[in-house]
């Protein structure tokens, strides 16, 4: 089993990430065909459940995108279950301390590194067959979300935890935690300074920084800042934006 996203990072590349919120295999298939490097099924704030996630994975399999999942929380059952379904990486919300980062690693890795239970019912079919368990610890990418003041204050101890691939910034909740307006694409120096700190700390530990963006243009800026993965809004917003633009054009306004 080889993780294409990991290979892209190792070659110096940056990953453009799709965000799949709609519980539709067809919409996931369409998104996967559009040139993204990875696609994240959102079980936290998306309208997805476990079965719709599996259907999205099946639909995306014909395209060279790395399947990722944002789990709803740091909980052993769902972490193991999405990995068994074939996720090649996890984004986990609200990791605010070293202990919570260690817990995420423990839930996601097989012994002796962790406590993940053996039963890769779908993952083994697509990611190495009988050899899956031998490579899963190395190839499964873990990205804790840095999205609170507390996480920023404990950044060094979080990112020093063995087993992580990097981190993923949630700009909206990050803004909330500092008493600022929650949104994706910030322009204030205050946030740029935090981003620079996160990127520098990731580099210190040989990790990769990712961020949630509200547009492709901001994702490009994120890559210029030093981020190595950037999401270009979610499928719902992209569809709505295109639909509004079409209506506006039709009305000549």
**Which three-class secondary structure state does DSSP give residue 159?**
helix
Closest to 168 in 3D by CA, of 112, 229, 117: 229
Q: Which residues, in sequence order, are CB contacts of 135 under 8 Å at separation 6+?
A: 1, 127, 128
CA pair distance 220, 213, nearest whole angstrom: 10
The CA-based angle 235-107-124, given to 5 degrees, is 70
- Number of C-alpha atoms within 13 angstroms, CB side, residue 203? 11
Query: Which residues lie below 8 Å from residue 61, measured CB to CB, with a gap of 6+?
Result: 126
Does residue 45 have an active-site annotation?
Answer: yes
Of 45, 63, 154, 212, which one is the catalytic site residue?
A: 45
Separation CA 216–CA 228 (nearest Å): 14
Which residues form the catalytic set? Answer: 45
């Amino acid at each position: 089993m080889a993780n294409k996203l990991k290979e892209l990072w190792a070659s110096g590349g940056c990953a453009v990430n799709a965000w799949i919120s709609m519980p539709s295999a067809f919409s996931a298939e369409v998104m996967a065909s559009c040139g993204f490097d990875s696609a994240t099924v959102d079980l936290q704030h998306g309208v997805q459940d476990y079965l719709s996630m599996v259907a999205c994975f099946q639909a995306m399999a014909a395209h060279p995108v790395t399947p990722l999942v944002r789990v709803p929380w740091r909980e052993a059952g769902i972490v193991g279950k999405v990995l068994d379904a074939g996720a090649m990486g996890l984004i986990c919300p609200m990791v605010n301390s070293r202990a919570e980062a260690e817990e995420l690693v423990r839930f996601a890795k097989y012994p002796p590194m962790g406590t993940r239970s053996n039963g890769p019912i779908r993952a083994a079919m697509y990611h190495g067959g009988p050899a899956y368990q031998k490579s899963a610890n190395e190839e499964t990418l873990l990205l804790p979300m840095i999205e609170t003041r507390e996480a920023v204050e404990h950044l060094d101890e979080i990112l020093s935890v063995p087993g992580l691939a990097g981190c993923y910034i949630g700009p909206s909740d990050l803004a909330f935690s500092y008493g600022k307006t929650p949104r994706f694409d910030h322009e204030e120096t205050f946030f740029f300074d935090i981003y620079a700190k996160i990127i520098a700390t990731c580099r210190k530990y040989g990790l990769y920084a990712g961020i949630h963006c509200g547009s492709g243009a901001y994702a490009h800026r994120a890559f210029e800042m030093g981020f190595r993965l950037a999401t270009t809004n979610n499928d719902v917003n992209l569809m709505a934006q295109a639909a509004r633009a079409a209506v506006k054009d039709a009305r000549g306004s």
